[in-house]
Structure 1
Amino acid sequence: MLQQYERILVPVDGSKEAELAFQKAVAVAMRNGEGTELRLVHVVDTRAFQNISSFDTSMVEQVTDTAKKTLDKYIEDAKAAGLENVSYTIEYGAPKTIIAKDIPGEMKADLIMIGATGLNAVERLLIGSVTEFVTRNAVCDVLVVRTDLDNQPITKKKK
């Protein structure tokens, strides 16, 4: 039996891993046919701004503007590939819960395609990985993208 996913959610954060998840999600949506919906989400983690004493709304606006530009480019790329039913949303709050439960529940997602975490083991222990949380708590299937479009492992450039 071939699984036909109809509503695919792709969290994007500007990372290479998220971009690869987007590219693979477009390919999956195209294979699954006309009715497939692809929704991109960028979550602005407002908790990151709470510790900044000079916090003002202009910081959130800057982050939001950058996210909109990135998401608009992704939409353009998806439509150029032939995908019609593609949209995005920008959310504010805790990325883990928003990506794993809130948006998938609201849109009735049947697949989340998410990039593999870029964190090392110590960082995951201290702050936790969004990808790890989503795979454990999502209300639908989750596909963690670890390879490029040729199914080759993602290589990190050395600094």
Structure 2
Amino acid sequence: MMDSHYHTILVAVDGSKTADLAFDKAVQFAKIDHAKLVITHVIDIQTFANVRANQRFIDQNVTEYAQELLERYEKQAHEAGLDAVELVIETGSPKTLIPKVIAPRVGAGLIVCGAVGMNAMERIMIGSVSENIARYAKCDIYIVRPKTLN
């Protein structure tokens, strides 16, 4: 296991199966290090940029979804025995917000994220979120891969 102890661990979630794996791993690390777990979800504006139908309805629903998603993860973290859990919802590009804004702000020593989450076309177009987090983060990164990819 790791020598260094992390005081704050940031995990990025989006509701995908890979995010669930990343969350479970982050909980394990937080328990080992008695660290604070910060669970973040970034509402990616690009995803909704082409949906103009009823913008206010979409914004409200997306925010509610993010809130419910994080509260579900928070409940799981508490059930797993973690006391210090913080939730962060931001709007923008997860690729830059997670490593450049959220991680420094919460004082993350480790960022845990899933390797996939987007479809192949989106990855080709914009690069994966985990690649960008690894590129920009000033702290350690742990990227969780689904077992099926190995």
* Deviating more after overlay: 115-124 vs 21-30: 115-124
* Deviating more after overlay: 4-13 vs 39-48: 39-48
For the Cα contact (< 8 Å) 1:116–1:145, is it kept in 2? Answer: yes
**Residue 46 (structure 1) aligned with residue 52 (structure 2):** no
**Residue 31 (structure 1) aligned with residue 36 (structure 2):** no
Query: How large is the RMSD of aligned CA atoms in angstroms?
Result: 1.8
Based on CA coordinates, which of the two structures has the bigger radius of gyration? 1
* Deviating more after overlay: 101-110 vs 53-62: 53-62
Where 2:98 maps in the other structure, the secondary structure is helix
Using the aligned pairs only, state the percent identity: 43
Indicate the residue corresponding to 2:87 in structure 1: 88
Alpha-carbon distance change, 120 to 76 in structure 1, aligned in 2, over 3 angstroms = closer
Alpha-carbon distance in 2 for matches of 1:39, 1:8? 6
Q: Which amino acid aligns with 1:19?
A: D
Q: Which amino acid aligns with 1:26?
A: V
* Deviating more after overlay: 51-60 vs 22-31: 51-60
For the Cα contact (< 8 Å) 1:26–1:38, is it kept in 2? Answer: yes
What count of residue pairs does the alignment treat as equivalent? 148
Give the structure-2-normalised TM-score. Answer: 0.90
* Shift >6 Å, 4+ stretches: none
Indicate the residue corresponding to 1:7 in structure 2: 8
Q: Deviations over 1:44-86 (max 9, x none)?
A: 1123323233242210111111121121111111111110001
Question: Where do 5+ consecutive residues of structure 1 fail to align?
Answer: 148-152
Give the structure-1-normalised TM-score. Answer: 0.85
The structure with more helix, counted as a fraction of residues: 2
